[in-house]
Amino acid sequence: MVKIAFGNYNDSVSAASIKAYLAEFIATLLFVFAGVGSVISYNKLTTDAALDPAGLVAVAVAHAFALFVGVSMAANISGGHLNPAVTFGLAVGGNITILTGFFYWIAQLLGSTIACLLLKFVTGGLAVPTHGVAAGLTGFEGVVMEIVITFALVYTVYATAADPKNGSLGTIAPIAIGFIVGANILAAGPFSGGSMNPARSFGPAVVSGDFSQNWIYWVGPLIGGGLAGLIYGDVFIGSHDPLPVSEDYA
């Protein structure tokens, strides 16, 4: 049975943990800068406010590439979460303590917010787009969409990076994680925005001052990530011991 551990404060403020938080901050900042920046660039280059198919593909590819790089650069230090929903899903599966995960959240949210502030500055004050459900859809429908696609993301993280039976998969895990994010944006982008990541939605909301639908991108991803951690941890990892805190998932 999966066990959730609160953790020890001294472990969560150790030198290795602080390095992990810094790695999460930097990697999340760079990921959000590229992801949100791709949307701003698209809006700059077109007069059509609606995202056309080519624009959707470009944004999905930008997010996939940026996440692949972000996960790769942080994997050996923090595990390369870059996402509070991933951190929460791994906590449900016993791969990270709740206390350490809380500090991960702070680093991820700060990284996203700083990235969006930088984008606002370097683009001459252009609007930072926020996530929101498409016209005609309800908030509940958006939540369900985010649950499904975030489940797919965190399940992929478990299957490629957090399952102790896999050993080291090298670059396969970051590639697979980037691919599932790109594919999910293609599927969900026109409907829920395809966030899968509370931090990715939080930074733009802070900088734009628009939190009207931000709750969707906390409720949906956290439920989806938690379910993935619960199911993969119980069914497929089963009796295997969780990864030690001092290794990949500090």
**Which tens digits make up the pLDDT trace of 114-162?**
999 999 999 999 999 999 999 999 999 999 999 999 999 999 999 999 8
CATH topology assigned to domain 9-237: Glycerol uptake facilitator protein (1.20.1080)
pTM exceeds 0.85 = yes
Confidence of residue 245 (pLDDT cuts 50, 70, 90): very low
Task: For residue 24, give the amino acid letter.
Answer: E
According to DSSP, residue 51 is labeled: P
**Token pair of 30, please?**
């760079």
pLDDT at 81: 97
Helix axes of 172-188 and 139-157: crossing angle, nearest 10 degrees: 160
Domain ranges within the chain, ordered by starting residue = 9-237
State the number of CA atoms in the 13 A half-sphere of 3 facing the CB: 8
Tokens of 241: 């011991």
Give the span between the Cα atoms of 97 and 102, in whole angstroms. Answer: 9
